[in-house]
Amino acid sequence: MEPTTAISVSGKRVDDGGAQATSKIQSAHDAAIIAESRGGARYEGLYVHVPFCRHKCHYCDFYSFVDSENRGAAFVERLLAEAAAAVRFVREPLTSVFVGGGTPTMLPPPLLRELVEGLRARLPMAGDVEWTIEANPETIDSAMAEELGALAVRRVSLGAQSFDRTLLRALERDHDPASVARAVSLLRAGGVPQVNLDLIFAAPGSTVEQCAVDVRTAVSLSPDHLSAYGLVYEPNTPLTVKLRQGTVQRVSDDNEAAQYEHVVRALAAEGFERYEVSNWSRGGAQCNHNLLYWRNGDWFGLGPSASSHARGVRWRNVPRLGDWLEQGPSSPVQDAEVLSEDVQVGEAFMLGLRVVRGIERSRVEQLLQRGSNGERRRAAMARHLGAGLLAQGATHVQLTERGFQVADSVLMDLL
Ligand code: SF4
């Protein structure tokens, strides 16, 4: 999952308000210096953005494109220079590295090896660091699968989205559904320990029955982890243009809710544990990197358009490969924000309650005492506890099953 500078609940993005954009921040290092001045910045995770894709899907607003200029080698060289410069800030061993995009497996295996080994040589990593690499199923052949296994990548996250050709077409996904099963078995044979499948529900024209087939097919491939997100019509994507033009229709809210409910029920029946609104794992294969985002931890982003966060300072590298290649080693930034204490508190609630386990009660109390909206949040929390949308256990406060159904409105009240 790519980190985002927007906050998202159940796939919907909202404006968090109150964050202060600052023009003083020109580069990632400017931002990291401000974060350090706030005390205690500790980067546990690394996010690497590889912007290349074999086709641009119509719903996608990530910075990614089909590279007609074959700039993979220049990209890796520049990225490793950025990593070497980041060691000034990334001083403690990283516990997770997430290589996303884009499609990192668009890099040929030798270049991917150079990238992974180069990062390992330049940045401190914990012995059991969790490596995740995102992949399009069509980019996994036996050479790539063996390389990923040999590189000790723990997780490969495959964008399956749907197994229904009509729905894949509606999303303008350019892969054959059969390639997902092929990729999973090649990855297993190559020695990759954990495979995630991403699914999208509520695509235009989709039904609960189609969603059920998608979930069943995904489960039949025995993934260790599943992510299922309701389709989001991001601004300025071709799919949203079609929506405005009336050539595609959104499914109804009831249909979307029924699809989500089906996913929740079907995966529970198959022994998957939901640990976040949209994420399930089996055998303890949770994604530590994503848990870091939801805990509002500190991570450093490398590559064009990569986001970073530390101590309430958030920044996003410039989303233009040409500009990024020409400058450096610290990346120029496109947006940077220094969050007020109150915004940080709101985000801690919003992100923390997405996780099924919830937020520790002692931390909830600390959060309620910070920021300028403590009393309003305390009242909202009491209301939702009374209505059975939140529950208070011995150690944590969490959303109830009913609360998950209306997570957007509950979390907005605490933002
Ligand atoms: S493969 Fe992923 S990153 Fe690339 S265009 Fe499609 S959704 Fe976006």
Is the CB of residue 357 less than 8 Å from the CB of residue 349?
no
The pLDDT-based confidence of 13 (bands split at 50, 70, 90) is very low
Residue 175 lies in a domain: yes
Is the CB of residue 20 less than 8 Å from the CB of residue 11?
no
Q: Which of 338, 357, 383 is the last residue of a domain?
A: 338
Q: Is the pLDDT of residue 404 over 70?
A: yes
At residue 193, what is the residue type?
P
Task: Identify whether residues 70 and 149 lie together within a single domain.
Answer: yes
DSSP 3-state of 244: helix
Residue 245 lies in a domain: yes
Contacts of 290 (CB under 8 A, 6+ apart): 1, 98, 276, 279
Mean pLDDT over residues 245-273, rounded?
A: 96
Q: Report whether residue 86 contacts ligand 1, using a CB cutoff of 6 Å.
A: no
Task: Give the 3-state secondary structure percentages of the chain, helix then strand then coil, rounded to 5.
Answer: 40, 25, 35
Task: Identify whether residues 315 and 345 lie together within a single domain.
Answer: no
Q: Minimum mean pLDDT among 17-21, 65-69, 243-247, 291-295: which range?
A: 17-21
Q: Which long-range contacts (CB under 8 A, 24 or more apart) does 232-240 make?
A: 232/8, 232/11, 232/12, 232/13, 232/59, 233/59, 234/13, 234/59, 234/60, 234/61, 235/61, 236/61, 237/58, 237/59, 237/60, 237/61, 238/58, 238/172, 239/58, 239/59, 239/171, 239/172, 239/204
Task: Identify whether residues 247 and 299 lie together within a single domain.
Answer: yes
Contacts of 317 (CB under 8 A, 6+ apart): 28, 49, 301, 302, 303, 304, 305, 306, 307, 308, 324, 331, 332, 333, 334
Task: Identify whether residues 244 and 144 lie together within a single domain.
Answer: yes
Task: Give one DSSP letter per residue of 339-382, joined into a string.
Answer: --HHHHHHHHHHHHTTBTT-EEHHHHHHHHTSSS-HHHHHHHHH
Mean pLDDT over residues 195-214, rounded?
A: 97
Q: Report whether residue 305 contacts ligand 1, using a CB cutoff of 6 Å.
A: no
Q: Is the pLDDT of residue 4 over 70?
A: no
User: Whole-number mean pLDDT of the chain?
Assistant: 93
Ligand 1 pocket test: pick from 55, 59, 61, 62 the residue with the most ligand atoms within 8 Å of its Cβ. Answer: 62
Q: Report whether residue 57 contacts ligand 1, using a CB cutoff of 6 Å.
A: yes
Ligand 1 pocket test: pick from 4, 64, 136, 140 the residue with the most ligand atoms within 8 Å of its Cβ. Answer: 64
Task: Identify whether residues 119 and 244 lie together within a single domain.
Answer: yes
Q: Minimum mean pLDDT among 37-41, 59-63, 191-195, 227-231: which range?
A: 37-41
Residue 8 lies in a domain: no
Residue 10 lies in a domain: no
Q: Find the domain containing 308 and state its range.
A: 18-338
Residue 7 lies in a domain: no
pLDDT of residue 7: 37
Task: Identify whether residues 168 and 224 lie together within a single domain.
Answer: yes
CA dist., res. 370 & res. 206, Å (int): 44
The pLDDT-based confidence of 3 (bands split at 50, 70, 90) is low
Q: Which of 322, 338, 354 is the last residue of a domain?
A: 338
Q: Which of 286, 318, 338 is the last residue of a domain?
A: 338
Task: Identify whether residues 120 and 248 lie together within a single domain.
Answer: yes
Q: Is the pLDDT of residue 19 over 80?
A: no
* 270's tokens: 């198959």
Q: Minimum mean pLDDT among 10-19, 264-273, 276-285, 405-414: which range?
A: 10-19
Task: Identify whether residues 192 and 292 lie together within a single domain.
Answer: yes
Q: For residue 59, which atom of ligand 1 is closest to its CA?
A: 7
Q: Report whether residue 204 contacts ligand 1, using a CB cutoff of 6 Å.
A: no
Residue 277's CATH number:
3.30.750.200
Residue 346's CATH number:
1.10.10
Write the pLDDT tens digit of every residue in 91-148.
999 999 999 999 999 999 999 999 999 999 999 999 999 999 999 999 999 999 999 9
CA dist., res. 140 & res. 184, Å (int): 9
Give this prediction's pTM. 0.93
Task: Identify whether residues 250 and 399 lie together within a single domain.
Answer: no
Ligand 1 pocket test: pick from 2, 49, 52, 56 the residue with the most ligand atoms within 8 Å of its Cβ. Answer: 56
CA dist., res. 180 & res. 223, Å (int): 11
At residue 258, what is the residue type?
A
Q: Is the pLDDT of residue 403 over 50?
A: yes
Residue 103 lies in a domain: yes
pLDDT of residue 299: 98
Residue 256 lies in a domain: yes
Task: Identify whether residues 350 and 287 lie together within a single domain.
Answer: no
pLDDT of residue 9: 36
Q: For residue 60, which atom of ligand 1 is closest to its CA?
A: 8
Task: Identify whether residues 252 and 366 lie together within a single domain.
Answer: no
CA dist., res. 231 & res. 181, Å (int): 23
Q: Is 372 exposed, middle or buried (0-12, 13-18, 19+ CB in 10 A)?
A: exposed
Task: Identify whether residues 63 and 76 lie together within a single domain.
Answer: yes
Q: How many domains does the chain have?
A: 2
Is the CB of residue 125 less than 8 Å from the CB of residue 157?
no
Q: Report whether residue 210 contacts ligand 1, using a CB cutoff of 6 Å.
A: no
Residue 11 lies in a domain: no
Write the pLDDT tens digit of every residue in 281-313.
999 999 999 999 999 899 999 999 999 999 999
